[in-house]
Amino acid sequence: MMHRTRLYIDGTFTAPGDNRHFPAVDPATEETFAEIAAGQATDIDRAVRSARRAFYSGAWPGMDGKQRAGVLRRIAEGIRTRLSEIALLEVRDNGKPLPEAEWDIGDAAFCFDYYADLAEQQAIQPPETVDLGDPRFEGKIHREPLGVIGAITPWNFPLLMAVWKVAPALAAGCTIVLKPSEICSLSCEVLAQVIDAAGVPPGVFNLVTGTGPDAGQPLADHPLVDKLAFTGSVATGRKVMQAASAGIRTVSLELGGKSPFIIFDDCDIDKAVEWIMFGIFWNKGEVCSATSRVLVQRGIFDRLLDRLRTAAEAIRIGPGDQPGVKLGPLVSRVQYDKVRAAIDAGRYSGARLVTGGDRPAGFDHGYYLTPTIFADVPTDADIWREEVFGPVVCVNPFDTEEQALALANDSAYGLAGAVMSDDLDRCDRVAARLRAGIIWINCSQPTFTQVPWGGYKTSGIGRELGRAGFDACFETKQITRFDHKEHWGWYLDAPD
């Protein structure tokens, strides 16, 4: 019997109010293998009100940080216990290769452990005392949990991107309503099961699956949500920001990019090719920070491009659960069609198609696409300027450091960037001048929970991960106290 997911509201797994569901499609076979609960505005309202009650009851925000840390560690252990199961579920739901999925789920567990540590540290830190310059006054700065957080998360890293929002929120004492992408929702249902088993009080975490219009928009519009946290497209991010502005609410947005990778001619070409491949073909190129604009110094341009083409054509393509596969199918028919349309536009732009751009031989079903490389791309072409979100990379030559920086920074986006050179002073110099929130030196894409994640310009607002991701879940309050033994004497004369 086909699995039907449920919502998780106020500590209870439940069917959506009208009992509607929609299909989960395996991108490797194009077959429906599960049915996802289609939450509606009424379900969102129940979840938000549950989160609101749980926050104001004080049971979770008032809990000692060490106790919350213990719960978060149980969640981490629950994820590790079910790691293989969740990874295989994401392979079938998303299409990514199994080793990548296993890596993601392990990172998700570590994320809970990391924020458990910060919750413990917060518990032993007294409020900050400030010298106000007048001995009669005492100033203190308190940090308090922000409130109810509405989280809307993407399909490319279904569990991991959800955990980036859920773990710091729970660690800080907030309550949360999670609305994952309708394209990949299954691993988030398992997350709800793990959270429930870990003993999180009812209402503190709520899961409502559903489409953007039916569930995402009502969550963004709900007046009882104190903060909106969104990862996804720029177009949807604008709508979320507009919804937040209507209620003057806090918002964090991670909206993707068109990240540059500058490669100088003093580096090892094979190492450069390896990192280019990782920077664009990992997770099928469905990565917001993918270094999809590669700038190669002219002295090694032709040699590097030739080796990159050979390496790309050797990538094993297939279902993500098959051993040795490095490139699975794109996540959905819609995404497959979008990427194919971008490739067609690239062909017509005058860019040189080096390799790829077609369905691989022998794959009549599934959303498969060969690794695609364009070279000598016009810098005003959409394929150079706009995010493709697929295994498509553009490679252009440059002559000088100044030229490379000008080309790299000429973008509406500013999520990430990378530089590769044996001259580490030059790397540091270029890294300092790249206008992006995440910079890699002599690598591309390694991501660590301990450091902040987020971008400049249209790539978003705010930061996740690291201490910054934890701090974003607090409000700051100043409390000023006057010495009750003193007399102010502004309107009334002080007594003799």
Q: What is the DSSP string of 307-339?
A: HHHHHHHT--BS-TTSTT--B---S-HHHHHHH
CA nearest 210: which of 41, 47, 39?
A: 39
State how far the Cα of 331 lies from the Cα of 343, in Å rounded to an integer: 17
Structure tokens at 396: 């252009």
Structure tokens at 92: 């079938």
Q: Letter for the amino acid at 174?
A: C
The count of other CB atoms within 10 Å of the CB of residue 397 is 19
The count of other CB atoms within 10 Å of the CB of residue 483 is 12
Beta bridge partners of 439: 417
Q: Is residue 239 within 8 Å of residue 43, measured between CB atoms?
A: no
Beta bridge partners of 141: 128, 478
CA nearest 411: which of 378, 386, 374?
A: 386
What 3-state DSSP class applies to 299? helix
Residue with tokens 């399909």: 155
Radius of gyration over every alpha carbon of the chain, rounded to an integer in angstroms: 25
Structure tokens at 140: 């203190």
Which three-class secondary structure string do you get for 172-222? HCCEEEEECCCCCCHHHHHHHHHHHHCCCCCCCEEECCCCHHHHHHHHHHC
CA nearest 414: which of 392, 390, 439, 396?
A: 439
Q: Is residue 65 within 8 Å of residue 120, measured between CB atoms?
A: yes
- DSSP, res 359: P
Q: Letter for the amino acid at 469?
A: G
Which residues carry out catalysis? Answer: 254
Alpha-helical regions (H) of 124-183: 158-172
> In angstroms, how far is CA 86 from the centroid of its own chain?
18
CA distances from 22 to 19, 38, 190, 329 (A): 10, 6, 18, 21
Burial class (CB in 10 A: 0-12, 13-18, 19+), 182: buried
Q: What are phi and psi of 481, to 5 degrees?
A: -120, 135
Longest dimension (CA), the chain: 98
